[in-house]
Structure 1
Amino acid sequence: MSPSPPPGRHHDGHRLLSRPSTWAEARFVANALRTETIGGAVLLGAAVIAIVLANSPWADSYMTLRDTEVGTDWFHLRLSLGHWAADGLLAIFFFVAGLELKREFLVGDLRSPAKAAVPVVAAFCGVAVPAVVFTAVVTAMGADGDALRGWAVPTATDIAFALAVLAVIGSHLPSGLRSFLLTLAVVDDLIAITIIAVFYTSGLDAGILALALLPLAAFAALTQRRIAPWWLLLPLAGLTWAFVHASGVHATVAGVLLGLVVPVKPRRRGVPSVSTLPADADVAHRFEHRIRPLSAGVAVPVFAFFASGVPVVGGGLGQTLRDPVAVGVVAGLVVGKLVGVLGSTYLLARFTRARLDDDLAWSDIAGLAILTGVGFTVSLLVGELAFGAGSERDQHVKVGILVGSLLAAALASLVLRRRNAVYRRIHELETRDDDGDGVPDCFQDRAGTSGEATR
């Protein structure tokens, strides 16, 4: 299924997109994807409800609800409900992204340079190529210079939405591909956060931003010492978020900073609090176990509800698809992501000692690459930052994201469904447990150990 290595290349090189190296890592990936899949279904439902409302007789009521302002003028915290969802609730989403990122690079598969190279390179190319495609399309269509502000819109992959598509397809996706998709999305989130902080920050107040370091440092000190009562950490996290928001940097950056300072390596003495987790679970594990469902099931769907309601009837769709920005977004998501992710993975296999795992075919990688074109949460956020929430061009961006994501999902479904029988066979092999010890045989080495490495 994979091409034979060219002359002079050894067959024992690193395998691309192989299964996670340990049973512990495989369980973590499976649990994370299960939560994201359920969250993706809720996200999809929230987006559909918003679109229906925005194109119904209740459209004015929906817009009024979205634009209702609540809060205080202190630290610029009087915001519309739509802005609270984008600036506040999405900070929870990025907090989980920060936890994932740190975990993957310190104790996950990305700690190995050989295994990290593929998803990291694929993520960077999956950001760069869509940006180039968007810019080329917008320029070729003769759009005004302001249109180029949306270059980053088609660069993000929505892991929850993508996994919801996989759940609908019903494929037994091999664990190596699932792990690749998750780690690629984690790196993709890091790049998106960096883009937001660098390119979509205006009017930076360095003094207020410096003040954010005080509660952030206190939060880090407490979590590092395994002191984690919610009534102590939550106010510190809130202050960090408020200072970052008031400084001019997008408030979601506070979420990832808070996630990055949480320790990820476990100690035998657990956090002194009531939990269903094992006693040796660490702070990051506890936080992720508790907050991921809140992020996937509440924060992101509420943001999607307020962000994705856009008129598409009464001629709105045709007008939108004539806007170079919308066309560029669709091309970036569908073409740019495919070329960036598939092309970079193929080049790594062609010009290094790495080779595709024996269980996979290049059509699998192509299907997964197309699926990364499902962009939603971060793409909607970047569109609002680039053109202003509620502006006409922002509405066009939203339609472009919806059309591009649906097209990518449909094409990925066509490609991946062809391999369902093979996926089912791989899934049976990966879950086979002949000795009944609860650990699949494929994760046991010759000595019979489970590969349950201390994380």
Structure 2
Amino acid sequence: MYRVWDFVSTYSLLLIGGALLALVWANVSPDTYHHVVDFVLIEDFFIGHAHEVNGEIHRTLTLHYLVNDVLMALFFAIAAKEVWEAIILEEGSLRGKKAATPLIATLGGMVGPVAVYLGIAAVLGVFEQVHQGWAIPTATDIAFSYLVGRMVFGAGHPAIRFLLLLAIADDAGGLLILAIFYPSGELAPEWLLLSFGAAAAVFVLANWLPLKLDRGRELQPVSVWVRKTLSFWPYLIAGCISWYGFQEAGIHPALGLLPIVPTIPHADRGFGMFAEAEEHLHDLLNSMEHALKVPVEVILLFFGLLNAGVEFSAISEPTWLVLAGLLIGKPAGILLMGWVGARVLGFGLPEGMTLRDVFVLGCVAAIGFTVALFVASVAFDPGPVQDAAKMGALFSFFAAAVALAAGRLLGVQKVDY
């Protein structure tokens, strides 16, 4: 349990603290809160919010942009690292037939919320005002869903591994949605050549070339020198270049480190983000993740503080649409597509798991929070609609109570080690 609690405390507790502080602050003194959020750090900088002045593009670096668009790139890099290892490693959790049903269920867990969100929006006659927020309820907060899953199923239940597979795949889908459907400005895809060029250059110069020069040399002196002397610096420089390429390309720059993550040397296997053995992997990729623990913790504190400040008077249709998408669409979609994968397509379920467990697991996965809050901040311009959608993301914590109640009503048997 220590490893689970350590992860949740690292990536979630300060986030919750920042979000709660923001809620109180925004409802007690909204003017001062928004003044801090929009505080200008540097005018006419090379990074920041773009605006046109006399036909020329100028950028202003605000505190909100610094956190959401620059520093959150480190959080998404960690998510990308987990997805990358799950796909590329021989023992990766997203490889082979064992991942088929969870991956199919993930599709349902993304399509179901979108269908519920847009369907209810059309019935209520607010489709035009809120349709941009369709991706908000597709999110799953991996840390909190895992913790609640342990409470519902117990540590040894096969549904826990199913949930982790689904959450990792959900992260991958969320990253693609952000990149494709939520550009940060006018698209200029030629700038992506800079990002992928930086990734290719750092892979060749700091990874492939040293290994080639060390071929046939038992002590691998060049690779050791690069690792010990240059360490993470080549990847940091490449990451900054890639981030800038994403900003100029009009793709959300918080995703700017994604092309660099696969170029970093990594272990031949991964034990999973909640395994104690993961702490003992000292390849460069895992070492960098461990070094980012405290910085990302602080970044998430400020992310919650600068994004969750919503006045309760803002609660309106988008709040209920996001909640309906998460609390209705996600469990229903996961159950339906889980059934298709297990029964119709014949991939089956893990031994000891039933479709009732899949439904309860879908309720657990309805906790959106972190990524849902992030998507709400990019889906809508600042204003009442964005605030209402953010409130729906915050209220998704009620999914924990729904999951606990569903587990009890459906007779889910907890399985401890």
Q: In 1, are the aligned partners of 2:153 and 2:160 still within 8 Å (CA)?
A: no
Unaligned ranges ≥5, structure 2: 49-59, 211-222, 270-277
Q: Which amino acid aligns with 1:65?
A: V
Determine the C-alpha separation between the residues in 2 that align with 1:39 and 1:375: 14
Aligned equivalents of 1:311, 1:165: Cα separation in 2: 28
- Number of the residue aligned with 2:110: 127
Q: Partner of 1:112: helix, strand, or coil? A: coil
What corresponds to 1:96 in structure 2? 78
Tell whether 2:384 aligns with 1:413: no
Go from structure 1 to structure 2 and tell me whether the alpha carbon gap of 1:421 and 1:343 turns closer, same or farther (over 3 Å shift): closer
Q: Deviations over 1:58-100 (max 9, x none)?
A: 4332221111122463433332212221112221111112111
Percent sequence identity is 27
Q: 2:416 aligns with which of 419, 424, 427?
A: 427
Matched, 1:153 2:125: no
Distance change >3 Å, CA 39–CA 207, structure 1 → 2: closer
What is the CA distance between 1:420 and its match in structure 2? 9.9
Letter of the 1:259 counterpart:
V
Structure 1 residues 217-240: Cα deviation after superposition (integer angstroms, max 9, x where no partner):
233332555645234432321222
Q: 1:291 to 1:419 in 2, by over 3 A?
A: farther
Query: Do structure 1's residue 69 and structure 2's residue 40 form an aligned pair?
Result: yes
Distance 1:166 1:122, change over 3 A: closer
Q: Name the structure 2 match of 1:332.
A: 325
* Structure 1 residue 386 corresponds to structure 2 residue 368: no
TM-fit CA distance, 1:170: 7.9
Deviation at 1:341, TM superposition (A): 1.2
Match of 2:162 in 1: 180
Shift in alpha-carbon separation, 1:177–1:42, aligned structure 2, 3 A: farther
For the 8 Å contact 1:326–1:397, the answer to whether it is kept is yes
Letter in structure 2 aligned against 1:62: Y
Residue 46 (str. 1) matches residue 46 (str. 2): no
Distance 1:418 1:358, change over 3 A: farther
Structure 1: stretches of 5+ with no match in the other structure? 1-26, 268-275, 429-455
Q: Which amino acid aligns with 2:266?
A: V
Q: Is the 8 A contact 1:263 1:283 kept in 2?
A: yes
Contact 2:10–2:293, Cα closer than 8 Å, also in 1: no
Q: CA deviation at 1:396?
A: 0.9
Partner amino acid for 2:416? H
Q: 2 CA distance for matches of 1:68 and 1:174? A: 48
| Residues 361/212 of structure 1: CA separation in 2 closer, same or farther (3 Å cut) | closer
Tell me, in whole angstroms, the C-alpha distance in 1 between the residues paired with 2:171 and 2:350. 26
Q: Is the 8 A contact 1:264 1:285 kept in 2?
A: yes
Distance (whole Å) between structure 1 residues aligned to residue 412 and residue 194 of structure 2: 56
User: In structure 1, what is the equivalent of residue 388 of structure 2?
Assistant: 396
Contact 1:47-1:309 within 8 A present in 2 as well: yes
1:106 is matched with which residue?
88
Per the alignment, in what secondary structure is the counterpart of residue 110 of structure 1?
coil
AA at the equivalent of 2:238: L
> In the TM superposition, what are the counterparts of 1:281-320 in structure 2 within 5 Å?
281-292=282-293, 294-295=295-296, 297-312=297-312, 316=313, 320=315
User: Which amino acid in structure 2 is aligned with residue 284 of structure 1?
Assistant: L
> Partner of 1:55: helix, strand, or coil?
helix
- The answer as to whether partners of 1:131 and 1:152 remain within 8 angstroms in 2 is yes
Task: Give CA-to-partner distance per residue, 1:153-193, whole Å, 9 cap, x none.
Answer: 111111123245457x4863335333222222221122112
- Is 2:186 the partner of 1:203? yes
Query: What does 1:228-247 correspond to in 2, within 5 Å?
Result: 228=227, 229-247=231-249
Cross-structure match for 2:369 = 376
Instruction: Tell me the TM-score normalised to structure 1 length.
Output: 0.75
Q: 1:151 to 1:411 in 2, by over 3 A?
A: same
Q: Which residue identity lines up with residue 398 of structure 2 in the other structure?
A: L
1:258 partner letter: I
Q: For residues 87-127 of structure 1, give each alpha carbon's deviation from its aligned partner in whole angstroms, at most 9, with x where no partner exists.
A: 12221111112111111012244353211212221222111
Displacement of 1:33: 7.5
Q: Is residue 149–residue 361 contact of structure 2 (8 Å, CA) maintained in 1?
A: no
The answer as to whether partners of 1:55 and 1:311 remain within 8 angstroms in 2 is yes
Find the aligned partners of 2:146 and 2:24 in 1 and give their Cα distance.
Answer: 23
